Amino acid sequence: MAGSLAALVCSQLKLKVLVVEISKHPRFAIGESTVPTTTAIIDAISKKYNIPELKNLTRYCTKNRPRIFDGKDYPKMGFWFGLHKEGEFLNVNDELLFEALDYPLGPDVHIKREELDMYLNSLYPKYGIDYVDNAKIFNHIYDCKNQIGQVSLKIKAIEEVKKISTRLVLDCTGHSAHFAREQDLLEQKVTSLHTNTRGIYAHFESSCIDSLENVMGGPNPFFRIKRDYTTMHHCFNGGWFWVIPFDDGNISIGLVLDNNINPPDLKLSPEEEFFKYISKFPTVKKHIAKARRTTKFVRKSRLQMYSKKIFSNGVVLSPHSAVFVDPLFSSGILISADYIYHLGDVINKCFKSNNFGQENFEELSKIFYRNVKHIDRIVDSSLKSFGDRRVFGQVFRTWALGSIIHMFLFNYIRTDQIDSKSTGLYGSHYEKFYNCVKKIHETICKFPINIDTAKELHFILSEYSLSSQCNKYAAKFEDPESELPYLFTYKVNNSKAVLNLVYKHLFSNMNLFDKARFLKRTITMHTLPILQNYLTRWFSNKYFLKRLKNISRAKHDWYSTTDMK
């Protein structure tokens, strides 16, 4: 996906673009879930670079949604987490929920990546992008003095070697990281990231899998939406399962394990190890044990990779060819979209100045690696705290609050220039919050995971006035000693107060130029009043059900039979 987005952006900069695919579309891939900030950034790419087709990709309900996605996607109304103990059924009080944006700003989407990649590939002729598949890259020679490279390709269809001259090569080969490995940029043993996980995943027939609502004996009385319309996370000490449904009768299920707690058992096949962990947890077993797979299992011994830099000798690494942290919180597509939003500006500057040196990529690199460190701490804190709901509840609220901060600043003070205010993910651009996440991670690594640690994390969060005040309205049951489920939602009666609170707090910390940009954007786009209007009406199910009747894709009963008071 990163390669296609980058190709489309470069074509709109009037550059000659060649996309080289080592295999052939469609092909199986993960990265199947978007989040509200992903949707916002891809919308912004669509507008900034005049690529209207992008606007209809990351939401479930749009008027001009491509027909290719009919049945290949699914509404994503939020993030659901269930914290399991081995040998015990899941207690409803050990559930957590973060509600995402509803119509018309959402909902976000689960989408089969092979279909999404195929659709983006189909846009190449319209945008004048050249494309070859089943091609093998032999080598890349770069002339540093003249700043021009040459790539040798062997194309299977014509059985001959082609030599392509290029100013820049964008490596979007993901974990293969062809050019990053060629130039010895990757750490052999990833030591720059705290997260250390492995994964086993495949697609399955959803008809063999029971509804999570049925498995749990009915809806959670505190949740407005059904669990099955979220990205479902079954979490346990040292790992977690993702469950991502699609409309076409398929479902994506993956197992992620912390290597420090659950090291590999190479005596077992991927399938045997996968179902071994399912059998440990009665609720998970009841939910997905009867799954029949439709693709081969993929097993990776280490999901993390880390490159020392994003640019070298005429090669620019895409985010997934440089760094990968973990699938948790659906950060993969988000990182790629945010990176490419500003990469276009950097590439444009290179061609206009005829300078393709390292210095042009320094600011983007600085912000990218800051984002990576921030996300790595949130993910590693989560993995280490899955064994205790009270501790994970505080990490969960930290991530949710970071999402709100990012959504707010990206929408209101975003510029076309590269700056930490508009490119920082999950609140990494907000210094106070960045340090808060760092302190929370250090505390979790240092202390035992128990109620005292939960209280300490709660205290750290409360030190930041934005966090403590925002949670007063938006995070229910945040007290570590509470026996009630954790819920973080925009959809509360005080949603307008939450938005005003974020506005006042962050606005007071902006410099003069940021304040000017913020005021201009809110006045010209009227976004603040519009968002307030949406937020205050969100808690009325009847309003949305009425609106959804006018949308052809309204074929789901998304809402729970209960309603949060």
Q: What is the pLDDT of residues 334-361, one digit of tens each?
A: 888 888 988 888 898 888 888 888 888 8
Q: What is the mean pLDDT of residues 139-155?
A: 77
Q: Give the side-chain half-sphere CA count within 13 A for 88.
A: 12
pLDDT for the residue 492: 38
The Cα–Cα gap between 284 and 279 comes to: 8
**What are the residues whose beta carbons fall under 8 Å from the beta carbon of 407, sequence distance 6 or more?**
36, 37, 40
More confident residue, 45 or 103: 45
pLDDT confidence tier of residue 430, bands split at 50, 70 and 90: confident
Mean pLDDT score, 75-81: 89
User: Alpha helices of 310-430 — where are they, by DSSP H?
Assistant: 319-322, 331-353, 362-385, 389-413, 420-423
Structural domains present in the chain: 1-58+112-187+305-356 (3.50.50.60), 73-111+196-303 (3.30.9.100), 382-488+492-537 (no CATH)
Q: What is the pLDDT of residue 544?
A: 52
Reported as a single tens digit per residue, the pLDDT across 46-73 is 888 999 888 877 777 776 667 666 667 7
List, for residues 226-249, the tens digit of each pLDDT value. 899 999 999 999 999 999 998 888
User: Highest-confidence range of 136-140, 293-297, 327-331, 440-444, by mean pLDDT?
Assistant: 440-444
Res 562 pLDDT > 50: yes
More confident of the two residues 472 and 182: 182
Averaged over 115-142, what is the pLDDT? Answer: 84
Q: Which of the pair, 525 or 208, is modelled with greater confidence?
A: 208
pLDDT at residue 479, as a whole number:
74
Of the listed ranges 202-216, 248-262, 533-547, the one predicted with least confidence: 533-547
Confidence band of 538 (pLDDT split at 50, 70, 90): very low
For residue 148, what pLDDT is reported? 80
- Averaged pLDDT for residues 156-169: 78
CB 364, CB 346: distance < 8 Å: yes
Distance between CA 246 and CA 306 in Å, rounded? 31
Contacts of 547 (CB under 8 A, 6+ apart): 103, 104
pTM for this predicted structure: 0.87
Beta bridge partners of 81: 96, 233
